[in-house]
Amino acid sequence: MAAVARRPFGLFKNLNAKIAAIPMMLTAVVIFIGCTAWTVIYSFTDSRLLPSENFVGLAQYDRLFDTTRWNVAIVNLLIYGGLSLVFSFVVGFLLATLLDQKIRFENTFRTIFLYPFALSFIVTGLVWQWILDPGLGVPKFLDDLGLPGGDFAMLGNKSTVIYALVIAGLWQGTGLVMVLMLAGLRGIDGEIWKAAKVDGIPAWRTYLFIVIPMMRGVFVTTLVIVASGIVRVYDLVVAMTQGGPGFASEVPAKYVYDLMFQRGNIGQGLAASTVMLVTVFIILVPWALMEFRDKKK
């Protein structure tokens, strides 16, 4: 009588895969969770150049929100983030809708729109710094043609510099939004379009009341990707303005870097980092809840 093969105990199923995953799990636990916990804990200390274990409660947070530079950074992030989300979603969806019409040279247009995303924020910032330079870029071109706007220094004006960052950010990131939206549109069943056409429903109503609600998952995922990038924006500001003029284009990520690595104020920098971390959680948690709830259904 042949021996019956015993099924492996649950813990030992896919044992090779579990062993291979151990280094990544340790990395996640030690680096991500451990460093995050360290950041939060030491944000309650008076650490300066070196970490200190003298806990001061919420003093770093009180000082943080009493700092004009930090409050300017928060306002700038709200302006940059709000405008970036609205325009990248609107423009990205419109571009995806146009490409979804099976136009000629679709691959060429898709490459052109997506190409800026392949560039780093540093390169993007330098390119737009040249484009907006009054002595080199668009203002000089307008001035040579005798058109108004030739003396307009967008990056040198405190009231307009943040909008220059928004323009550069949109140029870099809208292509990604377009591709994600296009993938969502291509996932819509063609029978829905045929049924809407037979019922005489205009195309704009089909998009507004049928297609967009069906693309809710794509919109939420795109929102999380774009929003997390907005909270961490740093390279673009450094490349274009260094946070200036003054602190007019300061953002939280640059504030954290300057406090920790230039001013030697670790406690204040970690408090600002923790505020950014909480902001990211506020963005991610609703998305995670929606995703897991849908999978359970």
Q: Residue 260: how many CB atoms within 10 A of its CB? A: 19
CATH numbers and ranges of domains, the chain: 66-295 (1.10.3720.10)
Check: CB of residue 130 under 8 Å from CB of residue 136: yes
Question: The pTM is what?
Answer: 0.83
The pLDDT value given to residue 90: 94
The pLDDT value given to residue 169: 92
Whether the predicted pLDDT of 35 surpasses 70: yes
d(CA 239, CA 111): 25
For 50-107, the pLDDT digits (tens) are 888 889 989 999 999 999 999 999 999 999 999 999 999 999 999 999 988 878 888 8
Q: DSSP readout, 26-84?
A: HHIIIIIIIHHHHHHHHTTB---SS----B-TTHHHHHHHT-HHHHHHHHHHHHHHHHH
H or E stretch at 196: helix 190-198
Average pLDDT over residues 264-276: 90
Check: CB of residue 168 under 8 Å from CB of residue 110: no
Nearest to 273 by CA among 48, 44, 80: 44
For 194-232, the pLDDT digits (tens) are 888 888 888 888 888 888 888 888 888 888 888 888 888
Look at the block and give the residue holding tokens 């058109």.
147
Check: CB of residue 276 under 8 Å from CB of residue 252: yes
CA distances from 77 to 129, 209, 229, 232, 248 (A): 20, 32, 11, 10, 11
What mean pLDDT, rounded, does the chain reach?
85
Token pair recorded at residue 217: 């998952």
Token pair recorded at residue 297: 């259904």
